[in-house]
A = this chain, B = another copy of it.
Amino acid sequence: MKKIHFNEVVTRDGFQIEPNFIATDEKIRLIDALSQCGYAKIEVTSFTSPKAIPMLRDAEEVMGRIQRVPGVEYTVLVPNLRGAERALESKADELNLVMSTSETHNLANLRMTREKSVASLSDVIRFVDGQVPINVSLSTSFGCPLEGVVLQSVVEEFSQRFVDLGVRGLTICDTTGMANPMQVAKMAQALSQRFSHLQLTFHFHNTRGMGLANILAALQNGIDRFDGSLGGLGGCPYAPGASGNISSEDSIHMLQAMGFDTGIDLPRLLAIARELPSIVGHDVPGQMIKAGLPLDLHPIPADVDELRNLDR
């Protein structure tokens, strides 16, 4: 049973595009419940400007009030130096920095060129100076909704630059669900060979229905760390109505059904996922909370035994 490390991103990546503010108490209650499920890592929040992402304006309070469970890493998204200061003050276990591998997406999303992003994130890495491990998330690594194709060589090049700066991990993100399993297999093989000492996480979206197929392709090519969002919350403004992040519970169910050790208490996780629609006020894309576990059997119709005997 190979060990899989799962990172839950629902309260950051999932919540940040929700239109209605989710109360701080509700976020803390959810994170505390998720902490009991056996995740390797939880991305709690983001230390961005409260103006840019009002949903996560309570980052300090959330980080201060959650009950930390030993064995779970509590990571936070950090866009710049100011965010890094706040994250260190809040005693985050890891800082997750982010930029896009597509120039146009980086300009549209982060308001600067990729080179400026690299320079700015390098400043953050030097500032943190090994106090906590650094992860860098590379957005649009399998394609950009504005620019189109993103070459694997470009992803490898940005990966190398951050590896040279001493990061512990990289997250290769399919930000808008453009990746297909063949592409994922090639990327996973190349990166896991080139950066075998690194924590390599793959981050998929189910925008075009390929999320779990992409997990399978990554698994088969050396990747054992995945991001997921409870209920499949999250997504991106470029595909309104389509699914967002892969659903954690659907992904974890598949991994466990295949015999992998995720360390996660799936029935407990499903119970939490079932509360999500009432927290966010709408239906969520995850399938497992609708379908249930395969071996949650349905009652046998009353007349079946009669038929069974008649036929003997």
Contacts and interface: CB of A to CB of B under 8 A. Distances in A.
Interface of A: 103-104, 107-108, 111-113, 115-116, 143, 145-149, 176-178, 180-183, 206-213, 215-217, 238-243, 247, 250-251, 253-254, 257-259, 286-288, 290-292, 294-295, 297-301, 304, 307-308, 311
A297 to B, nearest CB: 6
A289 to B, nearest CB: 9
Contacts of A295: 143, 148-149
Contact of A250 (B182, B209, B311): B209
A311 B117 CA distance: 11
A190 B238 CA distance: 42
26 contacts: A104-B304, A107-B307, A107-B311, A108-B300, A112-B307, A112-B311, A113-B311, A115-B311, A116-B311, A145-B298, A146-B300, A180-B257, A180-B258, A181-B254, A182-B258, A182-B259, A206-B209, A208-B253, A208-B288, A208-B291, A209-B211, A209-B250, A209-B287, A210-B250, A213-B215, A240-B290
A146 B297 contact: yes
Nearest to A149: B295
